[in-house]
Amino acid sequence: MAVENVERCTGSRVLAALPYAVMAVVGAVDLTAGPGVGFLPLVSLGPAFAGLVGGWRRTAVVGLTACVLCVSLGVYNGLFESRRGLTALLSVAGVTAAGVVAAVMRQRREAELASVRSIAEVAQRVLLRPVPRSAGPLRIAVSYTSAVAEARIGGDLYEVVTSPAGVRIIVGDVQGKGLEAVESAAVVLGAFREAAHDEPDLPAVGERVERALNRHLAGERFVTAVLAEIGDGPQATLLNFGHPAPLVVRPAGAVAFAAPPDRALPLGLTLQGAGAPAPYEVPFAPGDQMLFYTDGVTEARDAAGRFYPLDERAALLKDPDPEAALRSVREDLVDHAEGPLHDDAAMLLVRHREEW
């Protein structure tokens, strides 16, 4: 972070000095070449660059400096004895005025963009609230990597709720992108948060979420999701709506995907003629870990087109701190992709405590 700040400050200083450097070069070349070459109008490059990268005040100062330089060089070369000097001065003044207008408009757009991003960040915090670091017998960590560096809101979703029946979890991926995906995610998360507290079992929670999605979105979009319920016993109950199966890692290093016995349709489609998925149990004892994720993780490709081998990277989860373990997986995922991800990637790691 410190290195990035230093690089950003250095870049800002270079951009601030660029207009003056350009005018100095033009002035030196004009003095060297003499009045017959006609370099003087190029002094306007100074305010032109300033208008692109600086504020309107800086652009005006650079433009005033350019006009003074233009007059000085024009008088020195005797250009004001003809129309050439006045033409050059008018050119510089015109470019300065255009640069000031451009800077004002750019700053206004930047302010609007900053406001939109601020609102988006607030919406993100409301939509994807921080999960608890511990709940019941579990220690929990979450990671969200956006496919777009500036993005704050995507279609991946997750939530952890402590209920009388145990800790209930949802991780899902909304079809599509943009505001429509955000709307779908909001519906799913809102329904899950209510149902997870009220319903006696996981299928009832899934049915509540399904009905909410169909009621609000009328079957236009679907959501793949996996729901989990983890209580005091040595097992976890899962309900999978067409989502990638969680990865279970045992203390001795054994790895297995907790795949459902039968494939099911995503949320938003099960009420359209197909039955709801059946819950199934997976052994989950103290020391075990379960990694929930979206397909942006397993479908990340390297330069050769190979998918990310999540099960082969399970050893990265050995760190005693779940957050550090998940951070290792995220860094390895980005290294595998050798650049920005092409899809959002969410991961939620739950670790069954070995000690109480």
- Global pTM reads 0.71
Burial 150-165 (b: 16+ CB within 10 A, else e): eebbbbbbbbbbebeb
What is the residue type of 334?
V
Task: From 237, 239, 258, select the one nearest 310 (Cα to Cα).
Answer: 258
Q: What is the pLDDT of residue 258?
A: 96
The CA distances from residue 43 to 33, 60, 207, in Å, are: 15, 14, 70
| pLDDT score of 29 more than 90 | no
Q: What is the pLDDT of residue 2?
A: 41
Lowest mean pLDDT among 82-86, 98-102, 171-175, 352-356: 352-356
Output the average pLDDT for the chain. Answer: 85
CA distance 289 to 252: 11
Tell me which of 230 and 92 has the higher pLDDT.
230
Task: Tell me which fold the domain 128-352 belongs to.
Answer: Phosphatase 2c; domain 1 (3.60.40)
Q: What is the pLDDT of residue 126?
A: 67
Q: What is the pLDDT of residue 4?
A: 43
**Where residue 268 falls among pLDDT bands split at 50, 70, 90?**
confident
| pLDDT score of 344 more than 60 | yes
- Residue that is written with structure tokens 């997986």 in the block: 329
| pLDDT score of 105 more than 50 | yes
The burial of 13, by beta-carbon neighbours within 10 Å (0-12 exposed, 13-18 middle, 19 or more buried), is given as: exposed
| pLDDT score of 163 more than 90 | yes
- Between the two ends of the chain, the Cα-to-Cα distance in Å is 37
Lowest mean pLDDT among 30-34, 75-79, 147-151: 147-151
Q: ∠ at Cα 39 (65, 25), nearest 5°?
A: 55
| pLDDT score of 47 more than 80 | yes
Average confidence (pLDDT) over 101-108: 89
Average confidence (pLDDT) over 277-296: 95
What is the residue type of 287?
G
CA distance 291 to 346: 10
| pLDDT score of 55 more than 90 | no
What is the residue type of 279?
P
- Which residues pair with residue 113 across a beta bridge? none
Tell me which of 188 and 2 has the higher pLDDT.
188
Q: What is the pLDDT of residue 3?
A: 41
Share of the chain above pLDDT 90, in %: 44
Q: What is the pLDDT of residue 7?
A: 47
Average confidence (pLDDT) over 18-39: 79
Q: What is the pLDDT of residue 5?
A: 46
Q: Where in the chain is the domain with CATH 3.60.40.10?
A: 128-352
Average confidence (pLDDT) over 307-311: 95
Q: What is the pLDDT of residue 152?
A: 53
What angle, 0 to 180 degrees and rounded to 10, lies between the N-to-C axes of helices 2-33 and 45-53? 170
Q: What is the pLDDT of residue 20?
A: 86
| pLDDT score of 8 more than 60 | no
Tell me which of 276 and 194 has the higher pLDDT.
194
Longest dimension (CA), the chain: 97
Tell me which of 3 and 246 has the higher pLDDT.
246
